[in-house]
Amino acid sequence: MHGRPRKAPKPEEEAASVAKAQKLRALQTQFFSFHHNKIYTKEAVELSAKLLEINPESYTAWNYRKLAVEHYLSQPDCNPDWIKSVLDDELRVVENALRQNFKSYGAWHHRKWVISKGHSSIDNELRLLDKFQKADSRNFHAWNYRRFVAESMKRSEQDELKYTEDMIYKNFSNYSAWHNRSVLLSALFEKKAEGFLSKEKVLPEEYEFIHQAIFTDPDDQSGWFYHLWLLDQTVTTDSPLLASSWPGHGYDVFLVEDRCYNGSAFSPFTALHSDSGSFPIVLYFNQPVGGVSSSTVTVECGFNKNEDLLWKPLSASNSQTARVWVAHLKIPSSDLLSTVEVSVGHSKGIISTRGFEYSHPSMFSFKVHVQPMERDFSQVSVAESISLREENFKIYGSQSEESIINSFNQLSIKNGHESTASNWRSEALAKEIECFRELLSLMDCKIGKLTLARLLMAYDVMSYPFANKLVHSEEVLELCSDLMKLDPTHYQYYKDEHSMVLLQKVTSSKESLLQHCFQYKDSVSSAICGPICLRLNNLSLSRMGAFEKLLWVQMLDLSHNELQSIEGLEAMQLLSCLSLRNNKLRSLTALEPLRKLKLLRVLDISYNQIGDHSIDTTRYLCSSPLSHSVGSESNKDETVTSDVALIDNWEAFYIFKDFNLNQLEIVGNTIADEKFKSVLVKIMPKLKQLDGKLLG
Amino acid sequence: MDDIPPYPPIDPTTFDLIVIGTGLPESIIAAAASTASKSVLHLDPNPFYGSHFSSLPLADLPSFLSSHSTSPSPPHSPSSDDPNEFSLLEFATRPLYSSIDISTFSPNLLDQHSRKFNLDVAGPRVLFCADKSIELLLRTGTNQYMEFKSVDATFVGDNKGNLWSVPDSRAAIFKDKSLGLVEKNKLMRFFKLVQGHLAGEQDVKISEEDLQSPFVDFLNKMGLPPKIKSFILYAIAMADYDQEDTGVCRDLLKTKDGIDQLALYNASIGRFQNASGAFLYPIYGQGELSQAFCRRAAVKGCLYVLRMPVTALLVDKDTGCYKGVRLASGQDIFSQKLILDPTFKVTLPLGSSPPLPLKEKLPFFSLKDDKGKIARGICITKTSLKPDISNFLVVYPPRSLFPEQVTSIRLLQIASNLAVCLPGMFVLYISALCNDDDQGKKLIHAVMNTLLTVPLDSESNAAVQSETAEIGSAVQDETSESSSGGPSDSGEEKPTLLWSALYSQELTLGQVDFICSTPMPDGKLNYNDLIDTTFKIFQEIYPEEEFFPETSLENPEVDGDASPET
């Protein structure tokens, strides 16, 4: 069935197909007249059968037959025998149609519909399926229908599992069979069926099974797909977990209204400047969850009522599930030292997208210090101008090593929940790693290298809480670099993986992270010391990641990388100053994640490729801003949108209108001409500095 | 056979070709010559078709073997010169079988049903689904006279009685339980290399230097572990001699030939939808093949006379040229050409000097081939060697049973669903190349002792037991213990031997001269070499004629669908 080259039709074949088309057209015309006049006589119904046997793709004819069946069944003199004969007729027509084309969606669907009526014997169906699955063992229509039949018959998953095994033994190059196996195993795990109580027992056997296929023929893709599913089953814990939060447990959070912190008084890692009268609490889960609210998360503090807190998901798609959730605590205007306790998941309701309940209730607490405003706020801000130039950074120094380490230690959130349960998981991974190292010692194999990289990463992540470092990151980076050379078609994918691993590595230990922490010190301004700036510049990153470890970052330098997307950056709620200078951002819509950063004041997107390409391809990849988010919000700005210049630049309007920027650098992008800049000034009235020029 | 029924004289008395013996090569030649519109007389002294390629009832096999085991009787009184212009050269029979050893452990059961058995004289033998015999059957339409079933698997045996399935395909490698992951990977990559080479893919071409080197060296170069090497050499490429011992190896396989063998094997798997293995076996036994070609010849006008021994060759007195034969009935029949069954040879009367031209041909008649012998064994059991599977091949690679074993031993188990034995029984055919009878016996006994329980209450069993002792170390001797407890249903139990026939067969080659002689069954598993030789003989006698021209298809509507029954 597969891998047959298409041949050009011979003249006589073409003639035959013309004749067939003519016949079909005549049938169709007649059929439509019956259909529109709701004629369900024997002749009319037989005509539709004829039509379907020639062209099983005629959906209208299938629907007509459904109507005809309903019509017959609604007759007053209808008895069970007659119903059965009507439905048997339908099954016969479907079978004939399937002989013509066994991949006809309409025909398989019609069969399901007839069987669902419950008057036909289902036993026949398995026999029919055996025939079709013999003719083409990978026919996914047949496999799909098989699942339906098995369920209707209440055939046990164990029996079906045996069937997939038999099919796989006949020819293991069968995606459908492997897929069905994963579906059946998932069902058995969920049911906690006998022998399938724990993945711990079943998965190693499945690994053993798939190794036979992968080692026998590593060039066959079907086995690798199943292996990927197994890896996912091994790595993913069913119930979601809280990966990190801001503030973390035991933090001392200093809220100040002045950017000029006194370094000796509080840690630069946890001091926060806020001019909005509130500060965020960020929850970062290990997988997307829904149901985070004031009833599932309790925040106890002296200055806010829990019920008043509004938890919002931070996701690009505006769905009600996200890995990151945020709520804002209002800052009281008086001097304050208060302890805040956050309990997550003590009452039910937080549920992963796969339907698993958050089952490890956790609690963390931190202290908040508030200093009341001493100076006129606006005065200070005007004078300030932040310039992320090399000379303004000092490597975060040795002068107060101990305090740094102490405050730095606060940043990691310990999570001991899975420590005992995941023993078998890391054992399974270790075994897999050994296995694929062996395969690669035998032969060069791209997917083998990728799989080994994935395994090593998964193993490192799993053992991180114990080892406290990523043992294999150098090897994984090497594998990724190797793959970029070996498989240029998927260069970008490997590059992204490389970036993620590199970021994991940088953030994995305090030593490595500290190398990227700089202190911002403006040479002109009088400020002695500013916040910590995390500089991840010049790393040739194509993607940003490791957000769970970077929630504390307020100043981030991502300049001189190869970023095309900054997906996920919305998690970094504390960001006030961001440089994306000299990257490969190609459109304004790529800046979408920044809209959710309410504290962002300084943004540098100079020297990117915004406007280079007249067609913004990201718009096709992401959900269209017009169809979703814009609709409701844009109404209130009707006066603005009536401006012609803004309508022409609706993208700019949509992206920038929610920004609270003081300072923007956009020079070096095709889009950034004078006209565009004037539009920006219009959109962002609060903007004080554009491309280094103070705005009046 | 002694009392020749009074045949009416054969008419006409002159033919283009006389063929004596109905073995497969003779039958194919008879069919080919008939198809080429030659007038052919096909004679056989036996009352059945097939000669040395026949399948016989249980009781007839021993008598057939022994009738061909006696030394030629000295020629009768000097052939009296006939009053006509011919000299008579009497035929003598060659001793083709020796060391015949028949053991019956269940006389009543088997004697009553002797006719229910169809035992191949030249077993074990199969047809590869893609080999020359299948092509010939399809091309000649002979397949319509026969039905086949699949031989479902190949195993490699060891001296502990284990049978390891041969991972001969992608699916089989995947499923195999005895190979490690690395071995699976190496084996499959080797198969892919061979497939790529055969498909003419540029980047996987095997170099000419490698193709001309010994196959075993190439396998070593590919880094294949010993177990896999042994699978490929002996269970797929079907090498006969120990390829790693050049001292004893008489058929050192070149890479080129090894790869051709793999290609044949590979093309055989899955060629026919109903055949799961690489081989086919004809229902009612291998004798059916000869018969089918005889039917084919008869349809084309060939005249058949069975039970008709031939006594003498008629030679022109002056020229020494062949003229015809004298039948046992006394009638003289003349022809241009003669094809002789390997049974016969012509002896010259003592003291008489043969005509000059014949003298020159004498080396042909007295030529004794030095190809050695093949030991064969037929065993009947009531249980399969392996549960759940009834028709299969087992290969014992050289030195797998005992250190002095230098040739492969092959065993074919055929069940009653192929109509070769009583329902519920199994026939095991065993063969191995050997230098002499003793060596042959030792080889066959080694397999029997590994796989079967030989009951004690038989005379010949003592011989088997003593052989076992000789073989010694390698073979486990469990015979005495397991047989004393009487019949047992335990799955662990080895099948009990009901009947066996052991014999050695001469490997006489076909010879081509002014009188042509066909070969004896060879030591191969299939008919490829025999068909090649047969083709050569046909070309020799009829250089102008095509060997079964394409148009000779009798029923054009038969579309060559030889898919076997299941």
User: Does A196 score more than 90 pLDDT?
Assistant: no
Assess whether B314 and B351 both reside in one domain.
yes
* Cα B345 to the center of its chain, rounded Å: 21
Question: Residue A458 belongs to what domain range?
Answer: 423-507
CA distance B175 to chain A (A): 6
- Considering only CB atoms, which chain A residues are within 8 Å of B228? none
B375-to-A266, B98, B240 alpha-carbon distances in Å: 97, 9, 13
* Closest B-chain CA to A212: B174
Q: What was the pLDDT predicted at A507? A: 86
Contact A442/B186, CB-based, under 8 Å? yes
Contact A211/B181, CB-based, under 8 Å? yes
Instruction: Look at residues A488, A507, A526 and tell me which one is the last residue of a structural domain.
Output: A507
Instruction: Look at residues B236, B268, B300 and tell me which one is the last residue of a structural domain.
Output: B268
- Considering only CB atoms, which chain A residues are within 8 Å of B186? 442
Instruction: Look at residues A507, A528, A562 and tell me which one is the last residue of a structural domain.
Output: A507
In a domain, B542, yes or no: yes
Residues 6+ positions from B133 with CB-CB distance below 8 Å: B127, B289, B526, B527, B528, B531
What is the value of ipTM here, to two decimals?
0.77
Reduced to 3 states (helix: H, G, I; strand: E, B; else coil), residue B177 is coil
Assess whether A299 and A445 both reside in one domain.
no
Alpha helices in A154-250 (DSSP H): 157-170, 175-191, 199-216, 221-235
User: Does B236 score more than 80 pLDDT?
Assistant: yes
Q: What was the pLDDT predicted at B246? A: 80
Q: Which of B175, B181, B188 sits opposite A217 (nearest CB)?
A: B188
Q: Into how many domains does chain A fold?
A: 4
pLDDT digits (tens, 9 = 90+) for A529-557: 567 788 999 999 999 999 988 888 889 99
Residue B19 bridge partners (DSSP): B42, B339
- Considering only CB atoms, which chain B residues are within 8 Å of A215? 181-182, 184-185, 188
Q: What was the pLDDT predicted at A255? A: 78
Contact A169/B181, CB-based, under 8 Å? no
In a domain, B419, yes or no: no
Could you tell me the CATH number of the domain that includes residue A664? 3.80.10.10
Assess whether B193 and B236 both reside in one domain.
yes
Nearest-angstrom CA–CA distance, A693 and A11? 74
Assess whether B230 and B296 both reside in one domain.
no
Assess whether A572 and A496 both reside in one domain.
no
CA distance B185 to chain A (A): 5
Assess whether B61 and B210 both reside in one domain.
no
In a domain, A298, yes or no: yes
In a domain, B503, yes or no: no
CA distance B167 to chain A (A): 11
Selected residue of B177, B181, B188, B228 to mutate for chain A interface (largest A Cβ count, 10 A):
B181
Contact A571, A593 (CB under 8 A): no
Contact A170/B171, CB-based, under 8 Å? yes
In a domain, A404, yes or no: no
pLDDT digits (tens, 9 = 90+) for B101-122: 999 988 777 778 888 999 999 9
- Considering only CB atoms, which chain B residues are within 8 Å of A211? 181
pLDDT digits (tens, 9 = 90+) for A552-594: 888 999 999 999 999 999 999 999 899 999 999 988 888 989 9
CA distance B541 to chain A (A): 46
A interface with B, Cβ–Cβ < 8 A, is 169-172, 211-213, 215-218, 435, 438-439, 442-443
CA distance B525 to chain A (A): 27
In a domain, B8, yes or no: no
Confidence of residue B262 (pLDDT cuts 50, 70, 90): very high
- Of the candidates B322, B303, B301, the one whose C-alpha atom is nearest the C-alpha of residue B313 is B322
DSSP string for B485-533: T-----TTSPPBEEEEEEEEEE-PPPB-SSSEEPPPP-SSSSSHHHHHH
Assess whether A573 and A614 both reside in one domain.
yes
CA A98, A99, A100, A102 dihedral sign is positive
Contact B461, B103 (CB under 8 A): yes
Assess whether A475 and A444 both reside in one domain.
yes
Contact B173/A170, CB-based, under 8 Å? no
- Considering only CB atoms, which chain B residues are within 8 Å of A443? 185, 189
pLDDT digits (tens, 9 = 90+) for A236-282: 877 888 888 888 888 878 777 554 444 444 566 667 766 667 888 99
- Considering only CB atoms, which chain B residues are within 8 Å of A435? 181
Could you tell me the CATH number of the domain that includes residue A87? 1.25.40
* Closest B-chain CA to A168: B171
- Considering only CB atoms, which chain A residues are within 8 Å of B185? 215-216, 218, 439, 442-443
Assess whether A573 and A665 both reside in one domain.
yes
The count of other CB atoms within 10 Å of the CB of residue B301 is 12
Contact B171/A213, CB-based, under 8 Å? no
- Considering only CB atoms, which chain B residues are within 8 Å of A3? none
Contact B171/A169, CB-based, under 8 Å? yes
Q: What was the pLDDT predicted at B365? A: 44
Task: Provide the token pair at B296.
Answer: 């084919």
Assess whether A488 and A340 both reside in one domain.
no
User: Does A386 score more than 80 pLDDT?
Assistant: no
Could you tell me the CATH number of the domain that includes residue B225? 1.10.405.10
Instruction: Look at residues A448, A474, A507 and tell me which one is the last residue of a structural domain.
Output: A507
Assess whether A448 and A557 both reside in one domain.
no
Average pLDDT, chain B: 83
In a domain, B341, yes or no: yes
Q: What was the pLDDT predicted at B482? A: 37
Contact A545, A568 (CB under 8 A): yes
Q: What was the pLDDT predicted at A375? A: 47
Alpha helices in A529-673 (DSSP H): 618-621, 631-634, 638-641, 644-648, 650-656
Strands (E), A37-141: none
Assess whether B178 and B262 both reside in one domain.
yes
Residue whose structure tokens are 């194919």: B28
User: Does B492 score more than 70 pLDDT?
Assistant: no
Could you tell me the CATH number of the domain that includes residue A337? 2.60.40.3710
Q: What was the pLDDT predicted at A410? A: 53
* Closest B-chain CA to A214: B185
Q: Which of A212, A218, A435 sits opposite B174 (nearest CB)?
A: A212
Interface of B with A in 180-219 (CB under 8 A): 181-182, 184-186, 188-189
In a domain, B86, yes or no: yes
User: Does B78 score more than 50 pLDDT?
Assistant: no
Contact B323, B316 (CB under 8 A): yes
Contact B185/A169, CB-based, under 8 Å? no
Assess whether B234 and B290 both reside in one domain.
no
Return the minimum-mean-pLDDT range out of A376-390, B99-113, B326-340, B374-388: A376-390
Q: Into how many domains does chain B fold?
A: 2
pLDDT digits (tens, 9 = 90+) for A625-681: 444 444 444 444 544 555 666 666 778 888 888 888 989 999 999 988 888 898 899
Q: Which of B170, B175, B186 sits opposite A217 (nearest CB)?
A: B170
Task: Provide the token pair at B514.
Answer: 């002014």
Confidence of residue A402 (pLDDT cuts 50, 70, 90): low
Contact A172/B174, CB-based, under 8 Å? yes
In a domain, B210, yes or no: yes
Assess whether A499 and A536 both reside in one domain.
no
Contact A216/B189, CB-based, under 8 Å? no
Task: Provide the token pair at B209.
Answer: 């230097």
CA distance A47 to chain B (A): 36
User: Does A696 score more than 80 pLDDT?
Assistant: no
pTM for the full model? 0.79
Confidence of residue B560 (pLDDT cuts 50, 70, 90): very low
Say yes or no: B115 contacts chain A, CB-CB below 8 A: no
Chain A with chain B: Cβ pairs closer than 8 A: 40
Nearest-angstrom CA–CA distance, B341 and B399? 35
Assess whether A579 and A684 both reside in one domain.
yes
* Closest A-chain CA to B177: A212
Could you tell me the CATH number of the domain that includes residue B85? 3.50.50.60
pLDDT digits (tens, 9 = 90+) for B342-392: 888 776 555 455 554 554 554 444 444 456 899 999 999 999 999 889 999
* Closest B-chain CA to A219: B189
* Closest B-chain CA to A170: B171
Question: Residue B343 belongs to what domain range?
Answer: 14-95+284-369+509-553
CA B466, B471, B472, B476 dihedral sign is negative
Degrees to nearest 5, angle at CA B556 with B552 and B558: 115
- Number of helical H runs and strand E runs in chain B: 16, 22
- Considering only CB atoms, which chain B residues are within 8 Å of A165? none
Percent of all residues in chain B with a pLDDT value above 70, rounded to a whole number: 82
Instruction: Look at residues B220, B235, B268 and tell me which one is the last residue of a structural domain.
Output: B268
In a domain, A587, yes or no: yes
* Closest B-chain CA to A134: B273
Q: What was the pLDDT predicted at A578? A: 94
In a domain, B261, yes or no: yes
Assess whether B255 and B297 both reside in one domain.
no
Instruction: Look at residues B220, B239, B268 and tell me which one is the last residue of a structural domain.
Output: B268
Selected residue of B185, B189, B193, B222 to mutate for chain A interface (largest A Cβ count, 10 A):
B185
* Closest B-chain CA to A211: B181
Residues 6+ positions from B534 with CB-CB distance below 8 Å: B24, B25, B28, B29, B510, B518
Q: Crossing angle for the helix pair A11-36 and A42-54, nearest 10 degrees? A: 150
CA distance A170 to chain B (A): 6
A627-to-A413, A594, A618, A647, B445 alpha-carbon distances in Å: 39, 19, 15, 16, 85
Assess whether A547 and A590 both reside in one domain.
yes
Contact B184/A212, CB-based, under 8 Å? yes
Q: Which of A169, A172, A439 sits opposite B185 (nearest CB)?
A: A439
- Considering only CB atoms, which chain A residues are within 8 Å of B179? none
Assess whether A670 and A538 both reside in one domain.
yes
Assess whether A583 and A667 both reside in one domain.
yes
Contact B185/A171, CB-based, under 8 Å? no
Assess whether B294 and B264 both reside in one domain.
no
- AA letter at B371: K
Assess whether B200 and B262 both reside in one domain.
yes
In a domain, A146, yes or no: no
Q: Which of A569-583, B469-483, B501-515 has the highest mean predicted lDDT (pLDDT)? A: A569-583
In a domain, A440, yes or no: yes
CA distance B440 to chain A (A): 39
